[in-house]
């Protein structure tokens, strides 16, 4: 995967894991833009998911990482955007598959259900895995809602 600048977003439940994600990115020399939130005070995850999606759509960042308690709220919100393919991964094997078969451009992690070590393994796999293309491309092409 070609990394431009990683966009990172979370809600209050994802904030503790986001701190680790930012440290991981810094340690690996990967630039990032932090779309918030910036504390564990209660917030609404869609506010931050939409900003991350806009950053990817505009080309400001690529790819993205999003974190909330279960990961589901962020994934659901992000996937409302036509250009976003957000995949929820709770282990490295899932991260591999969402990149290889689904060309995921946002990695979503469940902040309340994985530890820092697991998150590191997930990010390692997400960043190193390339999209396989072929039969998977035609499936990607069918994802957008046709008007």
Q: What are the residue numbers of the active site?
A: 68, 101
Q: Contact, 49 vs 144, CB < 8 A?
A: no
For residues 56 and 68, give the distance between their C-alpha atoms in angstroms, rounded to a whole number: 18
Q: Which residues, at least 6 apart from 57, have a Cβ–Cβ distance to it below 8 Å? A: 81, 83, 84
Rounded to 10 deg, the angle between the 116-128 and 92-100 helix axes is 20
Rounded alpha-carbon distances, angstroms, from residue 3 to 40, 60, 69, 96: 28, 11, 26, 16
Q: Contact, 107 vs 9, CB < 8 A?
A: no
Rounded to 10 deg, the angle between the 15-27 and 116-128 helix axes is 50
């Amino acid at each position: 995967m070609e990394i431009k600048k990683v966009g990172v977003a979370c809600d209050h439940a994802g904030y503790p894991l986001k701190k680790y994600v930012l440290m991981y990115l810094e340690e690996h020399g990967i630039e990032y833009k932090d779309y918030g939130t910036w504390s564990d005070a209660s917030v609404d995850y869609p506010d931050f998911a939409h900003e991350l999606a806009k950053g990817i759509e505009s080309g400001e960042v690529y790819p993205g990482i999003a974190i909330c308690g279960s990961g589901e709220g962020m994934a659901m919100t992000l996937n409302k955007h036509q250009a976003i393919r957000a995949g929820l991964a709770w282990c490295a094997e899932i991260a591999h598959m969402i990149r290889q078969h689904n060309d995921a451009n946002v990695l979503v992690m469940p902040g309340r259900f994985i530890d820092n070590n697991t998150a590191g393994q997930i990010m390692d796999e997400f960043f190193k895995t390339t999209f396989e293309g072929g039969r998977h491309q035609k499936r990607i092409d069918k994802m957008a809602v046709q008007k």
